[in-house]
């Protein structure tokens, strides 16, 4: 009987938080050797469902069945003991541990009070080989790339003999190559009978991997599509309940040069010299593999890191002083890569975050009227979904947080808007809104410079693309010559005819 | 390892066979300037006066004396000072032990390596050669007599003390209590800090400690005045306390209602006596402590002969430098003398 | 606001208990409520409150200042030195002392921001350094004012009569002034907003163009300046200072007051009113013990136990409400 029962069955799960019904009566089924993709906008209830499955939250109503048996998960450790493992979105491994220690964290092999280091190294090597990660178990986790860390997380789940893997945005910080490697591992796990719940905003991945696609909207099931039929349009309508029109990309007419970068060198690539220009009304993308010095370049432009050499002119005026304050005053602002650490003061309110960079322009004392106006204007113009300006920014979804970052810098009337990974962790709906807003701003004469690991994003947003390779500009592609192939060739150091 | 017993034996033999010979035991050399040290139990103005006595004696007897004041008033600090002195080859040490009953071992150890006398506070169980100072119990009784003079009709009193784990503080307090309750002389008696103490006339309401924190002392005095509106007298046993008690009584508007009796010779205490607010104070003679300690150590260290040395010691090993009562009638004369000794005039 | 409700409640409970226990049958009154006691208590709150606000300034930046007690000692010894030993007029001497203390804060700030040393290390060394230097400087002599600052002493011992038996103590007015100015600084000025932002997330604040380094230095300068002001008040109150013991442990009273009042040690959180209430609680407890206990041997134990119990109850109540929501 047990053999034909589904691996995992979610039946009528409901969960409410103060003021929000996060899940109402959600059902889905996961069979052995199956990949079920869970899609939905931020706030649709995906992460709540995931936390219910991983034993973090207890459902208010409904049942979980593992191989036909009703189970009550008493906590994450209990879930793991029953074979349900969560692969976190934010890589949660402790950087200061060795690979072997990370694989066995919480279940160390021991002899009495002593650790059996050898046995753990051996075991870690074996289990990591299964996911195709061939590293020395004695090296530190900190030395691994994000893709390797993701594989390590999966290896850890396999070590715990997980039968159900929950992968939450597994590719969000991976390069194209690393993501491809992850897909292969996923296929292999599927062949071996592991059931996988796959959560992603990247619809391309979803249609590539999923056997079935389950949609969530406002905490309810919004439908299910077999993997073969999961086209981009159908999945979007499953998520947003309507079809997003693929708007025609507006064309911009570049004006005069507002950002001129001459001979800039960063600490990451001291020998590589970068020169380029950005005109007003132009959207310029910077592409390149992870570690090609993209973020370092942006941070140096903004003065967050000190550039080793070079000159940066904004609106024809060279930056004299170093530092974010000076750059912002000159009209160059940065929406940084790590929103939680650098972009926002998470514990402060939406209003206080919005006014933070510009408040000092309004005098020594806090101009409350200005703050209120700015907050109301930003919420309306950018469509920030929040309970009010007083809400703590850390409780907003990723997309809304990114809109707050945009709002606070737009208040500074910048000449050049620099964005590092503008839509990381942002859902489809908010992503479209942010793209539209950026096009609009460029139309109004702002110069936009951005870095993105997602080629799709680079292709849809940029007028012109600079491709970095080892800190140097390997090539420049005008819109007419933009394609995934040309970018990848330049990024990997090949010549483009 | 094998040589050590031999050396010891021959040393013993040498001592036994020629008791009168001028053997440089402990390296004593009558011609050289002896290295001496004067160690106090805390940092205070009081000891500055003592230091003047030390300096005067050092000059007179031609010896090198260093003065050490442990700032935190802790045993461990004092222990370190003593051990460092030995390491530096100091020949004679006069010390005011912070916690005598628990320092016997340490003092014996030091006494085995140098000539040790105690001053100000004694450690009778140790192997120190002599004690120079006053009997704190007797001083306490003198203070008790001042209280009786100040409030002959009796009443409740409060005692303030920096801390009570010091032998001299305990004995001073006990002397006051025994005098007020009309008990017999018994310096070994000790009443707990929170004991209920009531005699025919006097009642000791409380003893408060302040860990030598001046603002805290003032606060404690103020709070005692708040708590009891029938207080007859307040006593401060540490040098800095009487002036702060005086300020508290003054600001409470209870001058004339609450009598005050003091210990030591803080300038403001003396001024308070001149003004008639403080009835009197019991003063020690730190100048003499310093002077006599150095005088005695000097004699002992320069005398190589053990039997002759023993003859130099005061009777019963106690050199009494008696405490005095200072009242309005003799405060002027005392103060002038003090100013002269501290060189403030 | 919610964070200070707990401490306010604890304060009221202890005040009521003390009042009740302080009944004096002979005078038919509660001694705790006597004008004399209240003005004494408020005076102490004034002096220690200034120190707690000093501590709070650096704690909101996510730092710590362990040298407050030693800076109190510096001010307490230098003020009599200038006034009595050098005959400097009071109105010049006190600003000079405050300037010196501010310079100490500047030194801390530069070491922390410029060299990247940890605040704990810098100020712990300061704690030892300044007290040691003052002991050597004063030769362990008691530094007395000796009647040279009788007008200035009004700042510490003065009263503004309200009724016959009660006057508002001057240090409370000093604290009120410091508290109001600090509160305006924290909640109404851009620099204050920036200070709290950097306390919560220094990196994000820097990325938003906030001059985080300069503000951190400013916080340490203000902390030491206020500690110096507190030191002046203390020495003016008791008339003399002894370098070896003056202000010993006061940094802990100051930090305890600030933290009790809801200033989070991780930074970026706190209200001036809470800090003042925290300082009130510390002084009230001492007063309670003196008014009620037979001896003050248990004092530290009582203070520790009450604060711990208060913190535990506060956290318990908060959890209870969080679960109910």
Q: What's the token pair of residue A2? A: 């047990």
Q: In the predicted model, is pLDDT for residue C325 greater than 70?
A: no
pLDDT score at A93: 64
Residue of A392 and B31 predicted with greater confidence: A392
pLDDT score at B140: 94
Model confidence band, residue C183 (pLDDT cutoffs 50, 70, 90): very high
Q: What's the token pair of residue B246? A: 């005086």
Q: In the predicted model, is pLDDT for residue A345 greater than 60?
A: yes
Average pLDDT in chain A = 86
Residues C10-19 pLDDT 10s = 899 999 999 9
Spell out which residues of chain A touch residue C192, defining contact as CB-CB under 8 Å: 366
pLDDT score at A91: 56
Is residue A412 within 8 Å of residue A357, measured between CB atoms?
Answer: yes
DSSP code string of B167-181: HHHHHHHHHHHHHHT
Calpha distance B173→B137 (Å, rounded):
8
Residues A75-90 pLDDT 10s = 888 888 888 988 876 5
Calpha distance B95→B117 (Å, rounded):
7
Q: In the predicted model, is pLDDT for residue C75 greater than 90?
A: yes
Look-up of token digits 């938080």: A17
What are the backbone angles phi and psi of residue B145, rounded to the nearest 5°? -65, -40
Spell out which residues of chain B touch residue C234, defining contact as CB-CB under 8 Å: 214-215
CA atoms lying within 13 Å on the CB side of residue C61? 31
Q: In the predicted model, is pLDDT for residue A245 greater than 70?
A: no
Q: Answer whether A341 sits within 8 Å of C204, measured CB to CB.
A: yes
| Identity of the residue in C187, C191, C205 whose CB atom sits nearest the CB atom of A345 | C205
Average pLDDT over every residue of A441-457: 89
Percent of chain B with pLDDT over 90: 59
pLDDT score at A150: 83
Query: Is the Cα torsion angle A335, A337, A338, A341 positive or negative in sign?
Result: negative
pLDDT score at A89: 60
pLDDT score at A112: 79
Between 3.40.50.300, 3.40.50.150, 3.20.20.70, 2.40.50.100, what CATH number should domain A2-240 receive?
3.40.50.300
Spell out which residues of chain B touch residue C34, defining contact as CB-CB under 8 Å: 226
pLDDT score at A351: 95
Size of interface A-C (CB pairs under 8 A): 78
Residues B18-72 pLDDT 10s = 333 333 344 445 557 889 999 998 877 778 889 999 999 999 999 999 999 887 7
Q: Tell me the helix, strand and coil percentages in chain B, rounded to 5.
A: 45, 20, 35
Q: In the predicted model, is pLDDT for residue A398 greater than 80?
A: yes
Calpha distance B177→B191 (Å, rounded):
9
- B197: closest chain C residue by CA: C294
Percent of chain B with pLDDT over 70: 90
Calpha distance A408→C210 (Å, rounded):
13
Q: What is the CA radius of gyration of chain B?
A: 22
Please check whether the two domains, A2-240 and A247-331+414-497, share a CATH topology.
Answer: yes
Beta-carbon contacts of B118 under 8 Å, excluding residues fewer than 6 positions away, are B94, B95, B96, B97, B100, B107, B126, B128, B130, B131, B132, B133
Model confidence band, residue C278 (pLDDT cutoffs 50, 70, 90): very high
Residues A35-44 pLDDT 10s = 999 988 766 7
Which phi-psi region, left, alpha or beta, contains residue A345 (left: φ > 0; alpha: ψ -120 to 50)?
A: beta
Q: Answer whether A347 sits within 8 Å of C325, measured CB to CB.
A: no
The answer to whether chain B touches chain A by having 3 or more C-beta pairs less than 8 angstroms apart is no
pLDDT score at B17: 40
pLDDT score at A293: 87
Is residue B91 within 8 Å of residue B28, measured between CB atoms?
Answer: yes
The alpha-carbon gap from B51 to the nearest alpha carbon of chain C, in Å, equals: 12
Residues A282-304 pLDDT 10s = 999 999 877 788 889 999 999 98
Model confidence band, residue C147 (pLDDT cutoffs 50, 70, 90): confident
- For helices C190-200 and C170-188, give the axis angle rounded to 10 degrees: 80
Q: Where are the beta strands (DSSP E) in chain B?
A: 35-39, 64-68, 92-95, 115-119, 131-133, 155-161, 197-198, 202-209, 233-236, 259-263, 280-283, 318-320, 324-327
Query: Is the Cα torsion angle C131, C134, C136, C141 positive or negative in sign?
Result: negative
Beta-carbon contacts of B276 under 8 Å, excluding residues fewer than 6 positions away, are B328
Q: In the predicted model, is pLDDT for residue B11 greater than 50?
A: no
Is residue A405 within 8 Å of residue A335, measured between CB atoms?
Answer: yes
A169-178, A351-360, B321-330, C254-263, range with the lowest pLDDT: A169-178
Note the Cα B15 to chain centre separation in Å.
37
Percent of chain A with pLDDT over 70: 95
The closest alpha carbon to C213, from C68, C106, C66, belongs to: C106
Measured in residues, chain B has a length of: 345
Q: In the predicted model, is pLDDT for residue B7 greater than 70?
A: no
Domain boundaries, chain A: 2-240, 247-331+414-497, 347-407
All structural domains of chain B, each given as residue ranges with its CATH number in brackets, are 26-134+286-323 (3.40.50.2300), 136-283 (3.40.50.2300)
Average pLDDT over every residue of A393-399: 86
What is the CATH topology of the domain spanning A247-331+414-497? Rossmann fold (3.40.50)
Integer CA distances (angstroms), A159 to A125, A156, A381, B116, in order: 11, 5, 49, 72
b/e for B174-196, b at 16 or more Cβ within 10 A? bbbbbbbbeeeeebeeebebeee
C32 touches chain B (CB under 8 A): yes
Q: Answer whether C37 sits within 8 Å of B71, measured CB to CB.
A: no
pLDDT score at B136: 87
Run of H or E residues at A332: strand A332-335
pLDDT score at C192: 93
Is residue B261 within 8 Å of residue B150, measured between CB atoms?
Answer: yes
Q: Where are the beta strands (DSSP E) in A143-294?
A: 164-168, 195-199, 212-217, 220-226, 257-265, 274-279, 283-288
Average pLDDT in chain C = 91
Is residue A34 within 8 Å of residue A211, measured between CB atoms?
Answer: yes
Calpha distance B138→B160 (Å, rounded):
18
Q: In the predicted model, is pLDDT for residue B213 greater than 80?
A: yes
pLDDT score at A497: 52
Which phi-psi region, left, alpha or beta, contains residue B277 (left: φ > 0; alpha: ψ -120 to 50)?
A: alpha
Q: In the predicted model, is pLDDT for residue C80 greater than 70?
A: yes
Residue of C243 and A145 predicted with greater confidence: C243
Calpha distance B18→A179 (Å, rounded):
98
The closest alpha carbon to B283, from B315, B254, B323, B331, belongs to: B323
Q: In the predicted model, is pLDDT for residue C324 greater than 80?
A: no
Average pLDDT in chain B = 87
C142 touches chain B (CB under 8 A): yes
Residue of B46 and C122 predicted with greater confidence: C122
Model confidence band, residue A379 (pLDDT cutoffs 50, 70, 90): very high
Residues β-bridged to residue B345: none
Model confidence band, residue C264 (pLDDT cutoffs 50, 70, 90): confident
All structural domains of chain C, each given as residue ranges with its CATH number in brackets, are 34-319 (1.10.3470)
Residues A134-146 pLDDT 10s = 889 999 888 888 7
Size of interface B-C (CB pairs under 8 A): 110
pLDDT score at A238: 81
pLDDT score at C2: 67
Q: What's the token pair of residue A50? A: 């995931």
C19 touches chain B (CB under 8 A): no
| Identity of the residue in C200, C208, C268 whose CB atom sits nearest the CB atom of A357 | C208
Calpha distance A482→A462 (Å, rounded):
9
Model confidence band, residue C26 (pLDDT cutoffs 50, 70, 90): confident
pLDDT score at B110: 93
Integer CA distances (angstroms), C284 to C40, C41, C238, C257, in order: 11, 7, 20, 11
Note the Cα B26 to chain centre separation in Å.
28
**Sheet hosting strand A416-420, strand order edge to edge:** A332-335, A416-420, A447-451, A283-288, A464-469, A472-478
């Amino acid at each position: 009987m047990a053999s034909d029962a589904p691996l995992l069955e979610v039946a009528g799960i409901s969960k409410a938080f103060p003021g929000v019904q996060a899940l109402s009566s959600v059902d889905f089924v996961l069979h052995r050797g199956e990949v079920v993709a869970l899609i939905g906008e931020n706030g649709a209830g995906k992460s709540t469902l995931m936390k219910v499955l991983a034993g973090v939250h207890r459902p208010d109503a409904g049942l979980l069945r593992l191989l036909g048996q009703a189970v009550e998960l008493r906590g994450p450790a209990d879930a793991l003991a029953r074979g349900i493992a969560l692969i976190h979105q934010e890589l949660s491994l402790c950087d200061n541990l060795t690979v072997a220690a990370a694989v066995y964290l919480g279940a160390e092999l021991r002899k009495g009070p002593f650790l059996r280091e050898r046995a753990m190294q051996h075991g870690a090597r074996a289990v990591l080989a299964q996911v195709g990660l061939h590293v020395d178990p004695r090296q530190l986790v900190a030395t691994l790339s994000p893709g390797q860390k993701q594989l390590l997380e999966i290896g850890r789940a396999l070590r715990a003999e997980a039968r159900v893997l929950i992968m939450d945005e597994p590719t969000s910080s991976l390069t194209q190559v690393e993501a491809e490697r992850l897909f292969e591992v996923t296929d292999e796990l599927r062949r071996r009978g592991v059931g996988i719940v796959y959560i992603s905003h990247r619809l391309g991945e979803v249609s590539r991997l999923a056997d079935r696609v389950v949609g969530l909207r406002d905490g309810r099931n919004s439908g299910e599509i077999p993997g073969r039929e999961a086209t981009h349009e159908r999945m979007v309508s499953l998520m947003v309940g309507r079809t997003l029109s693929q708007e025609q990309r507006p064309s911009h007419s570049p004006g005069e040069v507002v950002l001129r970068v001459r001979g800039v060198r960063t600490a990451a690539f001291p020998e590589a010299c970068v020169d380029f220009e950005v005109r007003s009304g132009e959207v310029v993308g910077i592409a390149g593999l992870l570690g090609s010095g993209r973020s370092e370049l942006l941070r140096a432009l903004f003065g967050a890191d000190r550039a080793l050499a070079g000159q940066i002119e904004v609106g024809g005026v060279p930056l004299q002083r170093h530092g974010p304050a000076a750059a912002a005053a000159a009209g160059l602002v940065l929406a940084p890569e790590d929103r939680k650490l650098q972009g926002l003061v998470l514990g402060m309110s939406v209003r206080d975050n919005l006014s933070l960079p510009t408040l000092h322009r309004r005098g020594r004392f806090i101009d409350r009227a200005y703050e209120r106006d700015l907050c109301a204007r930003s919420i309306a113009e950018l469509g920030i979904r929040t309970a009010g300006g007083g809400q703590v920014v850390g409780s907003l979804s990723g997309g809304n947080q990114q809109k707050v970052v945009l709002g606070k810098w737009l208040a500074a009337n910048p000449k050049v808007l620099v964005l590092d990974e503008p839509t990381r962790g942002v859902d489809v709906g908010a992503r479209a809104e942010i793209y539209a807003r950026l096009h609009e701003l460029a139309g109004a004469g702002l110069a936009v410079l951005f870095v993105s690991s997602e080629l799709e994003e680079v292709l849809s947003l940029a007028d012109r693309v600079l491709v970095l390779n080892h800190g140097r500009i390997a090539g420049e592609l005008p819109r007419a010559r933009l394609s995934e192939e040309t970018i990848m060739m330049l990024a990997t150091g090949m010549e483009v005819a | 390892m094998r040589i050590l017993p031999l050396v010891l034996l021959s040393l013993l033999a040498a001592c036994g066979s020629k008791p009168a010979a001028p053997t440089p035991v402990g390296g004593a050399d009558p011609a050289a300037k002896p290295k001496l040290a004067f160690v106090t139990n805390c940092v205070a103005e009081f000891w500055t006066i003592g230091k003047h006595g030390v300096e005067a004696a050092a000059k007179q007897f031609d010896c090198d004396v260093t003065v050490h004041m442990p700032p935190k008033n802790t045993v461990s600090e004092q222990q370190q000072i003593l051990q460092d002195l030995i390491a530096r080859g100091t020949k004679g040490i006069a010390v005011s032990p912070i916690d005598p009953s628990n320092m016997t071992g340490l003092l014996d150890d030091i006494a085995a390596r140098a000539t040790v006398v105690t001053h100000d506070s004694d450690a009778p169980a140790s192997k120190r050669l002599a004690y120079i100072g006053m009997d704190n119990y007797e001083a306490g009784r003198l203070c008790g007599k001042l209280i009786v003079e100040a409030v002959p009709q009796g009443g409740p009193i409060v005692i303030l003390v920096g801390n009570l784990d010091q032998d001299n503080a305990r004995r001073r307090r006990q002397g006051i209590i025994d005098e007020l309750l009309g008990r017999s002389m018994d310096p070994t008696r000790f009443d707990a800090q929170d004991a209920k103490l009531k005699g025919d006339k006097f009642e000791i309401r409380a003893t408060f400690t302040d860990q030598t924190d001046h603002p805290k002392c003032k606060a404690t005095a103020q709070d005692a005045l708040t708590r009891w509106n029938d207080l007859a007298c307040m006593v401060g046993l540490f040098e800095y306390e009487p002036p702060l008690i005086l300020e508290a009584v003054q600001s409470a508007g209870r001058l004339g209602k609450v009598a005050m009796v003091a210990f030591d010779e803080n300038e403001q205490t003396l001024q308070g006596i001149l003004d008639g607010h403080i009835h009197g104070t019991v003063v020690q003679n730190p100048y003499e402590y310093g002077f006599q300690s150095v005088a005695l150590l000097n004699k002992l260290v320069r005398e190589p002969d053990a039997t002759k040395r023993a003859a130099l010691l005061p009777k019963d090993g106690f050199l009494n430098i008696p405490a005095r009562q200072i009242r309005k009638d003799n405060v002027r004369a005392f103060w002038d003398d003090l100013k002269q000794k501290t060189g403030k005039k | 606001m919610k964070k200070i409700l707990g401490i306010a409640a604890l304060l009221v409970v202890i005040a009521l208990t003390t009042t009740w226990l302080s009944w004096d049958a002979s005078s038919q009154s509660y001694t705790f409520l006597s004008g004399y006691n209240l003005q004494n208590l408020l005076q102490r709150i004034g002096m220690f409150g200034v120190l707690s606000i000093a501590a709070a300034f650096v704690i909101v930046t996510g730092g710590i200042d362990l040298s407050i007690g030693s800076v109190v000692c510096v001010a307490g010894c230098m003020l009599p030195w200038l006034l009595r030993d050098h005959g400097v007029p009071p109105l010049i001497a006190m600003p000079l002392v405050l300037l010196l203390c501010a310079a100490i804060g500047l030194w801390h700030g530069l070491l922390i921001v410029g060299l990247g040393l940890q605040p704990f290390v810098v100020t712990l060394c300061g704690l030892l350094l300044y007290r040691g230097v003052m002991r050597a400087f004063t030769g362990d002599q008691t530094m007395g004012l000796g009647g040279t600052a009788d007008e200035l002493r009004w700042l510490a011992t003065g009263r503004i009569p309200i009724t016959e038996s009660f006057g508002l103590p001057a240090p409370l007015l000093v604290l009120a002034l410091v508290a109001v100015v600090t509160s305006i600084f924290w909640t109404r000025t851009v620099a204050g907003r920036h200070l709290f932002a950097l306390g919560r997330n220094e990196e994000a604040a820097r990325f938003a163009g906030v001059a985080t380094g300069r503000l951190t230095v400013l916080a340490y300068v203000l902390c030491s300046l206020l500690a110096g002001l507190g030191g002046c008040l203390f020495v003016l109150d008791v008339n003399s200072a002894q370098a070896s013991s003056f202000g010993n442990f006061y940094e802990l009273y100051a930090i305890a007051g600030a933290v009790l009042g809801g200033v989070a040690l991780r930074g970026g959180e706190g209200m001036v009113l809470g800090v003042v209430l925290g300082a009130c609680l510390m002084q009230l407890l001492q007063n309670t013990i003196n008014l009620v206990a037979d001896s003050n041997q248990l004092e530290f134990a009582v203070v520790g136990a009450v604060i711990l119990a208060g913190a535990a109850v506060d956290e318990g109540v908060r959890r209870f409400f969080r679960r109910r929501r």
